[in-house]
Copies of this chain bind each other. A is one copy, B any other.
Amino acid sequence: MAKQGETAERILAIAQRMIQSEGYNGFSFRDIAAEIGIKSASVHYHYATKGDLGAAVAARYAARFVTWLERIVTEGRDARHRLILYVGLFRAAVVEDGRMCLCGMLGAESESLPLEVLEEARQFFTRNLAWLGNVFESGAADGTLIFTGSSEDHARLTLAALEGAMVFARVNGDPASFDQIAETALARYTR
């Protein structure tokens, strides 16, 4: 969590975008270098191996996500409102930028990932499910989210639907289908 240099930061941002667009196996150090206007050897100076870079990207993504989650806890009026804001995090990636969730992409590619990258993706899901589980639990308590069964189960179902919805939106080049799925998923919890 130390402060990052200017170039190291740009590398992370570009690598993240490329993984979200083409997948972990779909980008190279040369691609990144070309976009910045440096050579691939310079990228290796900042991140020794591709596994190191991938793990750093995933860790940064997960950490930022945690920050956003904390903000939602502050801003969300009630559990239902928090859930809506949560959906907005995913919506931003796919609808505004046409990208997958970074960890959804990495999750699909699990088997071809270096272990250190996979481990970061795992933590993303673990943390998100814990947070979402709390939202459903407080939703059951404050009456803004109606469901039967455990809050953990509905946290899983909701996150799975969001990840799947991003795949849909991309394969059809139709961001609106993400919104449609998200709305149908949320509608089930009111009334």
Q: Which residues of A approach B to under 8 Å, CB–CB?
A: 21-23, 25-26, 98, 100, 103-112, 118, 121-122, 125, 148-149, 153-154, 156-157, 159-165, 167-168, 170-172, 177, 180-181, 183-185, 187-188, 191
Given contact pairs A125-B168, A188-B188, A23 touches B156 in the complex (Cβ within 8 A)? no
| CB atoms of A161 and B168 under 8 A apart | no
Given contact pairs A112-B26, A149-B184, A161 touches B170 in the complex (Cβ within 8 A)? no
**By CB atoms of chain B within 10 A, which of A23, A118, A191 has the most?**
A23
**By CB atoms of chain B within 10 A, which of A153, A159, A163 has the most?**
A163
Chain B residues closer than 8 Å to A159, beta-carbon distance: 164, 168
In the complex this chain forms, how many copies of it are found? 2
| CB atoms of A122 and B184 under 8 A apart | no
Given contact pairs A156-B180, A163-B167, A122 touches B172 in the complex (Cβ within 8 A)? yes
Which residue of B is nearest A22, CB measured? B112
Chain B residues closer than 8 Å to A180, beta-carbon distance: 153, 156
| CB atoms of B172 and A125 under 8 A apart | yes
Which 7 pairs, one residue from A and one from B, show the smallest C-beta to C-beta distance?
A160-B164, A164-B164, A163-B164, A22-B112, A25-B25, A107-B171, A107-B167
